[in-house]
Every structure is written in structure tokens, then in C-alpha cells.
Structure 1
Amino acid sequence: MDLNNIQRVYFIGIGGIGMSAIARFFNEKGVAVSGYDRTPTALTKQLEAEGMQIHYTDDINALDQKANLVVYTPAIPATHEELKWYRDHGFEVVKRSDVLQEITRSLFAITVAGTHGKTTVSTMIAHLLTDSGYGCNAFLGGISVNYDKNFWSSDKQVAVIEADEYDRSFLKLSPDIAILTAMDADHLDIYGTPEAMEEAFITYTHNIKPNGTLIAKFGLHRGNELKADNKLLYSLQNDAANAYAANIRMINGGYEFDVMQQDWMIDNIRLHIGGMHNVENVVAAITVAHLLGISADKIRAAVESFKGIKRRFEYVIKNDHQVYIDDYAHHPEELRALITSAKALFPGRRCTVIFQPHLFTRTRDLADGFAESLSLADEVVLLPIYPARELPIEGVTSEILAAKITVPVQIMQKEEVLDWLKKTPVPLLITAGAGDIDQLKGPISQLLH
């Protein structure tokens, strides 16, 4: 695949967060980009405004018969008519990860993998490199608030790429610098066992280019099996790691702290987003920036100007009487970090979490963990499970979580939430989940303002 000789590219599932980043990459290179997605969204409307042709019915009469390359997402079923047509007619049909594989071969690649934290860390790294003037091409799994997009380009032959573990696609990448944030069990519908998933993350580190660097979270299970010519460990506060935060102070929903390393330190870092896990995330990002030779002053200024990622500890409302946080958290450990950080930043406020479980398999496999994390709130509202790519599984509903949660809990439909909120004081409200719960963000914000 020669990315420089493509004139027309067609995307099946163009509206996905990772797919749209690659579509934007080609579009900015002057390639004719078109594609299909199931439903229009704010993101697909943006892509259309940028000049891409998109339709929303599976229709072989609407596809591009002259495409040099067809890119599809694994979420698309093999029965999809357009996908079948391209395969039957001998087109080059590849996954998103195949394009990213080629990009990591041709550019200096910084990839970020892990069960959670990868979107935030990759966006932080991309912002530090861009804001400091170093420059990078960014392929992100979330919308950066600073740039209002998930891709941006640069003449610098450097790419920052979020490496997705779903369907093992990240194993195609060959990074120069690899970050590994977590190895907790997830996607057991793909991997089968937590051990098999750990093996995949270990293999990810074996794919680092010669003389490359691994920056891994301190204390990972089986961390001694991770392999790279150069290895650095980062931590929130453990001084046994190569890089860690010290003297952390909570200020106005954010943090001030110092980043310590064995032979360097940067003091008075100011991070204006919430979540103690985000302090740890920015330690990883700062470690990358320092490795690339970016000065302490530029790193400090870039972190202070970082506005976060939409739906990652996003302050929708923050004032003296009301705090409303929206977050993509869809794994027990993400929920634990989200709820504990919010309660620490805003002590004494009753914490209400509205959670939409994502996937029947994940809910079934991790039910105990979900219930334990959600029970850290003072009150929980569960929405029905968002199926995404899955068919229902008998006996797997939000009721199995409700039965295990130890604080007041109720189950309601999405359309019932606003009426309930009109009658219920919620001084600290969190909406969380990876499905379509984000559609509630605007209406709730209007109601609570």
C-alpha cells in the first residue's frame, strides 16, 4: 500500500472516531474521500462540511466504483452489501489498522495503547508536541477541545497514534516510542481470557522498532515480560518509577504538581482538567515530550493550555452550586477513577451517576467490577445496555448490575432522565458510558443551567 499514490478512497463506517481521523488524513492530502455510515452525526456533518461525500444507506449504487483503496471498520458485518461488492470486484479492501500500519512504517511513530487512558494520553502528547512548536500528525480516538477535531497534520514526519486493542488491530503497528497505560481485562468477546489479552499487550511491546522506547505504567501485571531496547516507567506518585508526580495540590477542579525524574524535574505544572488519573496521564505525556528534547518551559506552557478531550472528565457545568461531568467511562476501572476523583475534587456534594452500560458481553463479564465501582457514588441511575455491534444475550440486562449495587439505584429509559432530574437535586452529577448517552449532555446542561 503506497499512501502517496492514492487518488480516491472510500470508507465503510466513515463516522467512527478512528475511521474519521484517517478520512481527514487523506482529505488533507487532496485525496477524494467518500464513504458510508449508518446514521448522520455531528461528526459526519463536519466531515461533509470538509468536502467528503457521505451517504447513510447500504447501497451499491452510491459507492465509489473508482476508489483506489477501500477502508472498513471491524464493526461492519461481513454481510454488508457495499463491503461484499468491493470484495467481489477485486478492490483493495483493508482495515483502518492496515492504513495505520503503513503510517507507522513511514513516519516516526508514537503509539499509545492500554485498556484505558489511551485517548487522553495520545491527545496530551499530540497537544504538547503541537503547542510547543515541535509538530506532529495526530490520529486520535476522541475530539480534542483545543482543536475541535481528532486529526491534525504537520510537515514534521512524526505521528501520534492511538493504538486500539479491539480485534488485535494494534499489533500491526511498529512504533518508535510506545506507551502502555493499562492491561486490565476487556474485550473478552475477542480475547476469551484476561491472560490472552495480556499476551496481546506484551506482543505490542515486542513490535517496537530497534532502539525504540517503551514508556509503561509502573506496576503493570506481567510488566517484566514487556520488551523494548529502552524502557521507562511512569507512575502517579510512586518514586520507584522513572517519572512520577510529587507535591500534588488540588486547585479549582484541577491540579498543580511537580514531575520528577531521576536526572530531571519540571516544577509547577498546572493541569486545568479534573481526575487524579489525568495527573498520571500527563506524567506519561511529559515523559515523551522530554524524551524528544522539548524544553521544560514549553512543556509547562503546553500543559497549562490543555483543555482536555470531549467526554473525558469533561466539565459541562462547574460553578459554586452545580457540577456536571460527562465521561466516556465504560470499564469498571475507568468508573472507579472517575467517581473517586470527582468526589475528591468536590467533597461534601452528593454524587449522582447516570450510567449506560456498553455491550452485553462486557456487562456480563465485568458485572461485579461495575457494581463495586458504581457503589462509590451516593446514587445511581442505570440506562438499558447499549448493544453497539452485539445482539442481546438472554438474562443480561442492567438489572444484573442493579442487583449488585449497594447504594440507591434505579433503572430508567433515556427519555425519562430529564423528567427525573427536574424533580431531583443533583449537586454533583456524572453521566458516563460509551453508547449514545452523550445525546443527553445538551438537554441536561440546558436544564441545570
Structure 2
Amino acid sequence: MEFKNKKIHFIGIKGAGMAGLAKLFKAEGAIVSGSDIGEEFFTDEILKKLGLKVEEFNVKNISKNLDLVIYSTAYQPSHPEIKKAGKLKIPLMSYSQALGFLFNQKIGIAVCGTHGKSTSAGMLGKIFKDAGLNPTVLVGGEILNWKTGALAGRGKYFISEADEYQAKFLSLKPKAILITNIEYDHPDYFKNFTAYKNVFKKLVKNIKPGGLCVGFGEDKAIKEVLKNFKSQTIRNFRKGDFKIFKEF
């Protein structure tokens, strides 16, 4: 799909991931608009620098001339703007679907885990950028060096934070996965730890042929997630030289 000069509206554009995604679509040549609540948010400055005016939620933001509407999964299908887009038969994509569309066109590296995925994805992105690989990067927070959560690169790599909540990362078809750790989280969506681990197993199945999975070797849950995927290339961090049990 070609996005140049396509009119794309983002519902919930102030979210960290949504603001970053809007930046990436704008870099593809899309004409981006967005709506959200009126309260101030840390992404306001990022969106302003992109030249994007954010309107408060209103069904008037949705019109027939839009080519695509991308919505945050923080909002239900009953949201007035989402409902109107559906009524007008405007193509709709969730955040995760839109991310997957861009991510899967490149050599994707998905950084997932219960803790540390934003930091790890940001660090990996900086390494690739400093190495001259010109990556595309998207994380659900602000990378201090770039004052944004997204980097629109022209290289062949796409490094993304991969969010397990609502199984959103299953839209991704990565060439490589980095798993930082796995501890039971999001009990409102995953009924138990087994269900939580199972979604990571499904993500590993999404790895493209010849791909790579890197996991923390001391994490028992990661070992369980990876144990049945012997056909994949698996690398584990070695055992740590020391452990910190207390913060001072």
C-alpha cells in the first residue's frame, strides 16, 4: 500500500505509540491528522514539531475524504469517531495492525518482555543508528537522545517495542526477537501466568524463517517459552557475573 498523499486520521494520537506511529506515516508521505482529549500530554510538543494540529474528539473529525483511520486500542469500537468511520466505510486499522503493516515490510526486530522493553528497544535503536544502519525505531516512550519515541529511518531494519497486552504484538512478523524477561502481568487480560506465557509462544512462532531469538538465560519462563522451538536459532545471555539484591 502506498501512503504518499493519503489522508490518515489517528484517533487517540497523543498516546506515546500513536504519536510515534503518526511520525512514521508522515515520513511515508501521508497527510496526517489526529484527535484526542483536550488535556495536556507529553507528546503535545512532539506532535507540534511534526506540524500536526490535534483536534479534540468530535465526530466532525471523520469525513468521507479520509483514506484510512488508525485508532488506539485504548478506545472501544463504540467510540463515536470509530463508529462514524465504520458507518462511512472508511478503512480502519488498530494501532497494532498499522504498526505490523509497516514493520513487516522491513527486517523487523521485536523487543518484548514484561519489563525493560522500551529501554532495550531504545538502546538497540541507538546502536543501529550510530552504526550507520539508518533504522526505523518505535518505542512506547521518549528516547532522550531524540526527544521522541520514533525514528523514521530509510535503512532495512525496523526495531520496535512489542507490547504483549491484548496480544497486540501478534501483528508483527519479526526476523528477530529479544525477550528481556517474563513475569505475570496484565491480569485484567490474561487469566493466569500460563495464558500470559502462551502469547509469547505465539510470537516466537511468528519469527520468519532463519530468524533469531535472544532471551535472558536465567529466566525460567523464557526457557519454557523457547524450549519447543528447536528449529529456531536461539541465543541466551550467559549467567551474570553478579546480582544486585538491594537498591541503595
Fold similarity call, TM over 0.5? yes
* 1:152-180 C-alpha deviation (Å, 9 max, x unpaired): 12221110010011110101211111011
Q: Report the equivalent of 2:234.
A: 231
- Runs (5+) with no aligned partner, structure 2: none
Change in CA separation of 1:19 and 1:126 when aligned onto 2, cut-off 3 Å: same
**CA distance in structure 2 between the partners assigned to 1:103 and 1:27 by the alignment:** 12
Q: Report the equivalent of 1:118.
A: 117
Q: Confirm or deny that 1:49 pairs with 2:52.
A: no
Q: Report the equivalent of 2:78.
A: 79
* 1:267-290 C-alpha deviation (Å, 9 max, x unpaired): xxxxxxxxx89xxxxxxxxxxxxx
RMSD of Structure 2 on Structure 1 (CA): 2.0
Compare the two structures and name the one with the higher helix fraction.
1
TM-fit CA distance, 1:45:
3.5
**Structure of larger gyration radius:** 1
Instruction: For 1:98-117, list aligned pairs within 5 A.
Output: 98-117=97-116
Q: Report the equivalent of 1:201.
A: 200
Instruction: Count matched residues.
Output: 243
Q: Report the equivalent of 1:66.
A: 65
Amino acid at match of 1:47: L
TM-fit CA distance, 1:204:
1.0
1:42 counterpart SS class = coil
Instruction: For 1:37-436, list aligned pairs within 5 A.
Output: 37-38=36-37, 39-56=39-56, 58-222=57-221, 223-226=223-226, 227=229, 229-235=232-238, 238=239, 246=241, 340-341=246-247, 343=248
TM-fit CA distance, 1:67:
1.7
* 1:66-123 C-alpha deviation (Å, 9 max, x unpaired): 2211111111133211111001111111111111212232100011011111001100
**CA distance in structure 1 between the partners assigned to 2:119 and 2:95 by the alignment:** 20
**CA distance in structure 2 between the partners assigned to 1:224 and 1:76 by the alignment:** 33
TM-fit CA distance, 1:6:
6.1
Change in CA separation of 1:225 and 1:91 when aligned onto 2, cut-off 3 Å: same
Amino acid at match of 1:41: F
Change in CA separation of 1:160 and 1:3 when aligned onto 2, cut-off 3 Å: farther
1:191 counterpart SS class = coil
- 8 Å contact from structure 2 (residues 4, 30) kept in 1: no
- 8 Å contact from structure 2 (residues 133, 157) kept in 1: no
Instruction: For 1:18-37, list aligned pairs within 5 A.
Output: 18-37=17-36
- 8 Å contact from structure 1 (residues 27, 52) kept in 2: no
**CA distance in structure 2 between the partners assigned to 1:64 and 1:132 by the alignment:** 44
1:45 counterpart SS class = helix
| Same amino acid, percent of matched pairs | 25
1:188 counterpart SS class = coil
Structure 1: which 4+ aligned runs deviate by more than 3 Å? 3-6
1:116 counterpart SS class = coil
Amino acid at match of 2:206: N
**CA distance in structure 2 between the partners assigned to 1:215 and 1:103 by the alignment:** 23
* 1:44-85 C-alpha deviation (Å, 9 max, x unpaired): 2330331113112x2111335422111111111332111110
